[in-house]
Amino acid sequence: MAITDIQVRNAQPKDKKYKIADGDNLYLQISPTGTKSWLFRYKSKEIVIGRYPVISLKEARIKRYELAKEVTKGIDVAAERKWNKLSEKNAVRNTLQAVGEEWLDKFSVNNVEETNKRTKERLAKNVYPYLGAKAINEVTAPELLMVLRRVEDRGAVETAHRIRSVLSQIFRYAIATGRAERDPAADLRGAIPPAKKKHFAAITEPKEIGAFIRSIDSYKGTLIVQCALKFMVRVFQRSKEVRHAEWDTIDLEAGEWRVPDETMKQKGRNVHLVPLSHQVVVVKY
């Protein structure tokens, strides 16, 4: 016997969940918490149609009819719904942005924090707003070229090349994990003009090195800067390593500076040992 709207509305919860049959395999299930859900049963399986009162009795009956029609065609509606949900979930996981973030998360441990931050910002600013929501296997070379052209047009040619290289790594990762078949970024080699090489000031004559060191020794700035300059010019380390140096990594008696892995540009060395000469040890001012 079919149930009525009043019966549905007045159905009260019990200690255990129970069902009220409406007929033709449609049931109203009431949980101990009072939640009411519409269920459709077929071939010893159940599928949830929706909750009451979001789905009314009339709407539940219409949905039951539609599901029953699919079942008569041999369709397993529960399996099909599960597959659709899985496909939607995979569609979100397989976007260019999702795969890119996953790739960066897995391989960022091999890079310094600044490098990872720069890579993330470049993708977030230049790529994801245009192609981030697209399935990675559907991204084409012309579309990638479009985003790279935007970067090139504002004069950041070198950045465009770096982004192309990062995208190529992301696509190779997608291929390895079964979410892409090829790397369209590889097709763009030569599509962006080469960046103009920058020449940085450098001392190339041995005689000039002495003059440079003497100029540092005569520097009249703050004590910290004086010591840092004298220290740097004698240990030949990057400014970041020097700025982040801590006393517990320096052994003046042994004449050693053990630079920890987390401050190095190249990861995986564990500890980078820098010998300290007498001239370094006695740096005071």
CATH number at residue 69: 3.30.160.390
Three-class secondary structure of residue 26 per DSSP: strand
pLDDT by residue (tens digit) across 207-257? 888 888 888 888 888 888 888 888 888 888 888 888 888 888 888 888 899
Confidence of residue 170 (pLDDT cuts 50, 70, 90): very high
Residue 90 lies in a domain: no
Residue 82 lies in a domain: no
CATH number for the domain spanning 129: value is 1.10.150.130
- Are 100 and 180 members of one domain? yes
Residue 194 lies in a domain: no
Question: For position 152, what pLDDT does the model report?
Answer: 93
pTM score of the predicted model? 0.51
Residue 121 lies in a domain: yes
- Are 181 and 103 members of one domain? yes
Collect all residues with Cβ–Cβ distance below 8 Å to 38 and sequence separation of at least 6.
Answer: 26, 27, 28, 29, 48, 49, 50, 51, 52, 55, 60, 63, 64
Mean pLDDT estimate for the chain: 86
- Are 112 and 67 members of one domain? no
pLDDT by residue (tens digit) across 109-139? 667 788 889 999 999 999 999 999 999 999 9
- Domain of 116? 96-188
Residue 175 lies in a domain: yes
Domains identified in the chain, total number: 3
Residue 201 lies in a domain: no
Collect all residues with Cβ–Cβ distance below 8 Å to 4 and sequence separation of at least 6.
Answer: 57
